[in-house]
Amino acid sequence: MQFTDAIGYRELADFSAHYNGSPARRAMTNALANTELADVTFDHRRLRDDRFHFSVELPTLPATNQERSGRCWIFAGLNVLRERAAKTCGLERFELSQNFIAFWDKLEKCGYFLESVIDRVDCPVDDRTLCWILSTGVQDGGQWDMFVSLVEKYGVVPKEAMDETYQSSHTGPMNGLLNTLLRRGAARLQSLARGGADADALHREKKDILREAYALLCTCLGEPPASFDFAWTDKDKAYHVDRGLTPKSFYEKYVAADLGAYVSVINSPTGDKPFYKTFTVDYLGNVAGGNEVRYLNLPMAELVSLAVRQLQEGEPVWFGSDVSKCGDRKRGIWDTEAFDYASAFGDDFAMEKGAALDYRESAMNHAMVLTGVELGEDGAPVRWKVQNSWSDENGDKGYYLMSAAWFDRFVYQAVIRRDLLSEAQRAALGEEPGHLPPWDPMGSLAD
């Protein structure tokens, strides 16, 4: 490829003069040579407003730790559900097994991957959709509807029934081996199809590949229990034991949440996604035949209002956002005004939300749980309290804070109880969803 307007020496001289003509830039160069960018640009004046006090605040259990894995969406989902079990059993500390859900997610994703390959088995290997399927492979990340599919099919178990392993908390090498197994299987499936194999033969091959995937997952994560005993001591020091439970009977007895009563509301202000319309994403899922990923796109003010109402009614909110922007992990703060990039670089790097999605500058990449909100005199949010899954070492013992402006700009999704929706919102939710390609920004996974 030939370009007609290459960078020339005169332009380089102009660039250099522009940079060296600013004493402030030279001073900033010296500062950044030995200090983290976030520390240099952090505006300490924001700490006056970024306080961990909230007018609506739910009592919740201690923060959890996903460690070096991309299972935040599982941790966030189970953090919501464990509150029900803890209340039922009178527990002050309790976790549901993230490893249990992650195991079934991985196996189901393997099946979904192979079904997707079979669905496009007649396509050339450079077909764009097939390339996306192959390059994406099986990851840790996921979405709310994927979480629901797993819980509805497999149930849940206490963490003691299937605890973490090193591999469950450090998933990179395991994922690499699993994807090698799957891509090798994809090559075999296409080879069989080119040789004239019918659908039955392809699905027999798929079953053989899944058998190997199951063995690999058991080796790394342990095999999920078919039944277990649940023993606990409640806050009054009384001992209890319930024997011979299955994951589904445990869920029905101690959690009993109607997950079908919740819907995913998004804010995607892009030209291809009108508000008050529903959308799904092709080839995005885990459980074949499970719930499709479905979003209702609403203006941000309506998403905010729904999240506040759910908190006011005593329920936490699973949500997804882009945590790579304007954050201080140690302090546990996300605030668009807390980092003075304009003074440091002469540019605030601001970008309109819709354009940031369209041009791949931003997308949902992490799921957490809203557990509180500070409301101003006008009833509008000032800041939000967030339960994260990055241990209890940062923020307020693992709880974080989001400014209202940051929330508006970088939150893309919230899971809301269906009965809180207005008639117009429910009507829109009932419409046939529009289909988005798998590489659409709204197809991004929380990890």
Query: Alpha carbon of 289 to those of 31, 108, 146, 284, 292: distances in Å?
Result: 55, 11, 11, 12, 8
Per-residue pLDDT of the chain (447 residues; tens, 9 = 90+): 777 788 999 999 999 999 999 888 889 999 999 999 999 999 999 988 889 999 999 999 999 999 999 999 999 999 999 999 999 999 999 999 999 999 999 999 999 999 999 999 999 999 999 999 999 999 999 999 999 999 999 999 999 999 999 999 999 999 999 999 999 999 999 999 999 999 999 999 999 999 999 999 999 999 999 999 999 999 999 999 999 999 999 999 999 999 999 999 999 999 999 999 999 999 999 999 999 999 999 999 999 999 999 999 999 999 999 999 999 999 999 999 999 999 889 899 999 999 999 999 999 999 999 999 999 999 999 999 999 999 999 999 999 999 999 999 999 999 999 999 999 999 999 999 999 999 999 999 999
pLDDT at 120: 97
Active site residues: 72, 366, 388
pLDDT at 352: 97
pLDDT at 50: 87
Q: Which of 365, 371, 364 has its CA nearest to residue 397?
A: 371
pLDDT at 26: 86
- Phi/psi at 6 (5° precision): -75, 160
Q: Are 366 and 322 in contact (CB under 8 A)?
A: yes
Q: What is the pTM of this model?
A: 0.96
Q: Give the three-class secondary structure for 370.
A: strand
Question: How many residues does this entry show for the chain?
Answer: 447
Query: Alpha carbon of 141 to those of 39, 66, 71: distances in Å?
Result: 29, 12, 6
- d(C-alpha 310, C-alpha 341), whole Å: 35
Domains of the chain with CATH codes: 44-59+258-443 (3.90.70.10), 83-255 (3.90.70.10)
Q: Name the burial class of residue 222, with classes exposed (0-12), middle (13-18) and buried (19+) by CB atoms within 10 angstroms of its CB.
A: middle
Long-range contacts of range 88-93, CB-CB < 8 Å, 24 or more positions apart? 88/254, 88/255, 89/232, 89/234, 89/240, 89/254, 90/234, 90/235, 90/236, 90/238, 91/232, 91/234, 91/235, 92/61, 92/235, 93/61, 93/62
pLDDT at 257: 97
pLDDT at 88: 96
